[in-house]
Amino acid sequence: MLVVEDLICEYPEGEGRTVRGLTLPSFRLQDGEAWGVEGPSGSGKTTLFHCLAGLLSPTRGRIAIDGVELTGLTEPERAQWRGANLGYVFQEPKLLPFLTVAENIRLSARLAGKEASARRIRDLLAEVDLPDCGDRFPRQLSGGERQRVAFIRAIVREPRLLLADEPTASLDVRNSRRILDLLLAYQARSGCMLLCASHDPAVQERFARKLELRKEEA
Q: Say if 106 falls within a structural domain.
A: no
**Model confidence over 81-111: pLDDT tens digits?**
998 999 999 988 999 999 999 999 999 999 9
Could you tell me the end-to-end alpha-carbon distance of the chain, in angstroms, rounded to an integer?
34
- What's 86's domain CATH number? 3.40.50.300
Look at residues 210, 193, 209 and name the one whose alpha carbon lies nearest to residue 52: 193
Q: d(Cα 134, Cα 131) in Å, to the nearest integer? A: 7
In this prediction, residue 190 carries a pLDDT of 95
Q: Say if 128 falls within a structural domain.
A: no
Q: d(Cα 43, Cα 21) in Å, to the nearest integer? A: 7
In this prediction, residue 218 carries a pLDDT of 47
Q: Say if 217 falls within a structural domain.
A: no
Q: d(Cα 179, Cα 147) in Å, to the nearest integer? A: 8
Model pTM score: 0.91
Q: Say if 192 falls within a structural domain.
A: yes
**Model confidence over 147-189: pLDDT tens digits?**
999 999 999 999 999 999 999 888 888 888 999 999 999 999 9
Q: Say if 16 falls within a structural domain.
A: yes
What's at 129, amino acid-wise?
A: D
Bridge partners (DSSP) of residue 17 are 14
**Model confidence over 45-65: pLDDT tens digits?**
999 999 999 998 999 999 999
User: For 8-24, what is the mean pLDDT?
Assistant: 81
Q: Taking all residues of the chain, what is their mean pLDDT, rounded to a whole number?
A: 91
Domain that holds residue 170: 2-94+159-212
HSE of 109, CA atoms in CB hemisphere, 13 A: 16
